[in-house]
Amino acid sequence: MYRTNTCGELNLSHVGKNVTLSGWVQRARDLGGMTFVDLRDRYGITQLAFNMDKNAELCLEARKLGREYVIQVSGLVAERESKNLKMPTGEIEIIVDSLKVLNTADVPPFTIEDVSDGGDELRMKYRYLDLRRNPLKQNLMLRHRLAQEVRRYLDSKNFMEIETPVLMKSTPEGARDFVVPSRMNQGQFYALPQSPQTLKQILMVAGYDRYFQIVKCFRDEDLRADRQPEFTQIDCEMSFVDRDDIIETIEGLMKYLFKTVKNIEFKDAFPLMPYSEAMNFYGCDKPDLRFDMRFVDITSIAKGKGFGVFDNAEYIGAICAKGCSEYSRKELDALTDFVKKPQIGGSGLVYVKYGADGSIKSSVDKFYTPEDITVWLNAAKAEKGDLLLIVCGPKEKTLKALGELRLEMGNRLGLRNPDVFVPLWVVDFPLLEWDEESKRYFAMHHPFTAPVDEDVPLFDTDPGKIRAKAYDLVINGVEIGGGSVRIHSKDLQSKMFNAMGYTQEEVDYQFGFLLNAFRYGAPPHAGLALGFDRLTSMFAGLDSIRDVIAFPKNNAGRDVMLDAPSVIRDEQLKELGIAVVAKKE
């Protein structure tokens, strides 16, 4: 051991003790007679003191230390004269009597501080330096803590962690697979799993009853800010359960995590919201319920007064922004611009200011009397001082635009506090989605998702209306996870494939392996997967998952630190029986 203690643990109770510490030089301050060095390791920072009068040679040595040098020191723990009570070690310092440089360090290309001066690409390239910074270290420690607690909880509930293969089989549906050429089976490829979905269902057929895994999954998709080609899931499956059993189990896990990791207690059950309600009142399937601002449908009460835009709209919806009646022209213009952005898709914005004095002022005063508008205000339960924001147009598109406007107002009004967590379950998703282009239904979740029992007759009359036994866990507007009850009956599965227009041949080709297993006694089962990266970033109060991953890839799918991917040797290609095809310009 190069140390007797870490840099995070010494305090007044250790005064008078001789200790040895090792770590990195965070900073050095030369005050003439004294030189102070902050020594850092994973556990904290301890101040080292060198006295020019008492030991000039050593003090001069200390003055030569550069940033991020790795050193070992021995000395006496002493009470500090000027204490720093913000640090656990802030009441003591080490009067150093020996110093050894274990390693020197080049000058880092950016500062190793909570807020660094390095740009994104530079910090990605020198990830090992970026990872020294406190915020990243805290994120990875949180991730570690969460992973341990997830396992502890699920283990206590009789879940078995079972590893499924990474070298899997390519699946013809879903997102793009990463593939791995096989040397021993030339011309053939393994695929990296997009999820262990089929294998966890196989494990239920095998009788394992309760499975989980914290597992890497892979999708070769074009990357967005919050996507990584490899990501981590908490994957679960249970047998002999129905929807509410899964919800109860996972809710138990989430409550345990919030309690043990963040000391936040959720006493009540997380609310269940049908998909239709989420869409109609929040304009998306993952509503942020940290604030209310539900949509108010004023279609029927706003039509028929001669305002063409409203009269021709399929849907007219409003949200009530509390206390915003004094918004300026500029602010309202900004909101109008926001709504009209292509990615938002609204055609415009109508406002009603309900002044603190009871006055009513709107952008459609020409068409509506104050009495007309009062009806809207009442519908929206608006109070004096509030602002009504109204969007209209085709229903689906307008709901979506209003949903975005609602979130924007939430941001502006500071209603989306990252320290507040509001979870809910979105349920009753549609089982099937109609695809206009191919004129057929697709499974909204996947083709093994079970329908709600009472909706089964709709297979014959109106498949699009069937609700699924699917569920998403949503926290603060982020989909943390989702899953479904699976179909375990052959008859029901046939109905499902029929509704999707599959031929028997297609079914066999795409799903034969799993259906074969199902012939040998498949139990009723259901499952769910939680996005572990996203869960961690939510617990960390971050928007992006990148900084809760030790070695993430950039938007081009590259690891700029490792410089991967890279070209491989010709012999290697030859051995694998593949060739690189010249890219067309």
Q: Which of residues 244-303 bind a second copy (CB under 8 A)?
A: 245
22 binds a second copy (CB under 8 A): yes
Q: Which of 50, 69, 153, 270 binds a second copy (CB under 8 A)?
A: 69
Nearest to a second copy of 31, 184 (CB atom): 184
551 binds a second copy (CB under 8 A): yes
DSSP one-letter code for 27: E
User: For a second copy, which residue of 29, 42, 63, 361 counts as binding (CB under 8 A)?
Assistant: 42
Count CA atoms closer than 13 A to 333's CA, side-chain side.
3
Judged by CB under 8 A, which of 229, 317, 393, 477 binds a second copy? 229
Q: In the bound complex, what is the minimum distance in angstroms from residue 50's beta carbon to a second copy?
A: 20
Question: Which residues in 154-183 contact a second copy (CB under 8 A)?
Answer: 155, 160-170, 172, 176-183
Residue closer to a second copy by CB (options 54, 574) is 574
Cis peptide before 565 (omega within 30 of 0): yes
Q: Which of 106, 265, 453, 454 binds a second copy (CB under 8 A)?
A: 106
Residue 108 or residue 355: which is nearer to a second copy going by CB?
Answer: 108
> CB of 290: closest distance to a second copy in angstroms?
30
Q: Residues 37, 58, 94, 129: which binds a second copy (CB under 8 A)?
A: 129
- How far, in Å, CA of 435 to CA of 497, rounded? 15
- b/e for 246-266, b at 16 or more Cβ within 10 A? bbebbbebbbbbbeebeeeee
Instruction: Return the number of the residue (425 or 518) whose C-beta is nearest a second copy.
Output: 518
Angle (CA) 452-453-454 rounded to 5° is 95
550 part of the interface to a second copy, by CB under 8 A? yes
> What's the closest the beta carbon of residue 99 comes to a second copy, in angstroms?
15
Closer to a second copy by CB, 206 or 444: give it.
Answer: 206
Whether residue 275 contacts residue 285, with contact meaning beta carbons closer than 8 Å, is answered with yes
Write the burial class of residue 569 (CB in 10 Å: 0-12 exposed, 13-18 middle, 19+ buried): exposed
As a three-state string, the secondary structure of 284-350 is CCCCCCCCCCCCEECHHHHCCCCCHHHHCCCEEEEEEECCCCCCCHHHHHHHHHHHHCCCCCCCCCE
Ordered strands of the 360-362 beta sheet: 296-297, 315-321, 386-393, 350-354, 360-362
Q: Contact region for a second copy (CB under 8 A) — 79-87, 314-322, 492-500, 571-579?
A: 571-579
The DSSP-derived string for 331-349 is HHHHHHHHHHSTTT-----
Determine if 232 is a binding residue for a second copy (CB under 8 A). yes
Residue 356, token pair as written in the block: 């603190």
CA nearest 574: which of 205, 304, 186, 266?
A: 186
Which span sits near a second copy by CB under 8 A: 329-337, 394-402, 469-477, 512-520?
Answer: 512-520
Alpha carbons 431 and 448: distance in angstroms, whole number: 10
Question: Can you give the C-alpha Rg of the chain in angstroms?
Answer: 30
Contact (Cβ atoms closer than 8 angstroms) between residue 78 and residue 92: yes
- Does residue number 235 form part of the binding site for a second copy (CB under 8 A)? no
From the list 187-195, 253-261, 408-416, 497-505, the region that binds a second copy by CB under 8 A is 187-195
Nearer to a second copy, 115 or 556 (CB): 556
- Locate 489 and state its tokens: 């009956």
Residue number with CB closer to a second copy (115 or 582): 582
Place of tokens 């003790």: 17
Q: Does 234 bind a second copy (CB under 8 A)?
A: no
**Binding a second copy by CB under 8 A: which of 76, 206, 422, 542?**
206
CA distance linking residue 176 with residue 194, whole number of Å: 8
**The one among 50, 218, 459, 539 contacting a second copy by CB under 8 A:** 218
Is residue 558 a contact point for a second copy (CB under 8 A)? Answer: yes
Residues in 76-95 at the binding interface with a second copy, rule: CB under 8 A:
none
Which window, 63-71, 88-96, 366-374, 473-481, contacts a second copy (CB under 8 A)? 63-71
Asked if 521 is part of the footprint of a second copy (rule: CB under 8 A), the reply reads yes
What is the spatial distance between Cα 542 and Cα 418, in angstroms, rounded to a whole number?
8
Beta carbons within 8 Å of 185's beta carbon, 6+ residues apart: none
Tell whether residue 110 is a contact of a second copy (CB under 8 A): no
Q: Is 43 in the site for a second copy (CB under 8 A)?
A: yes
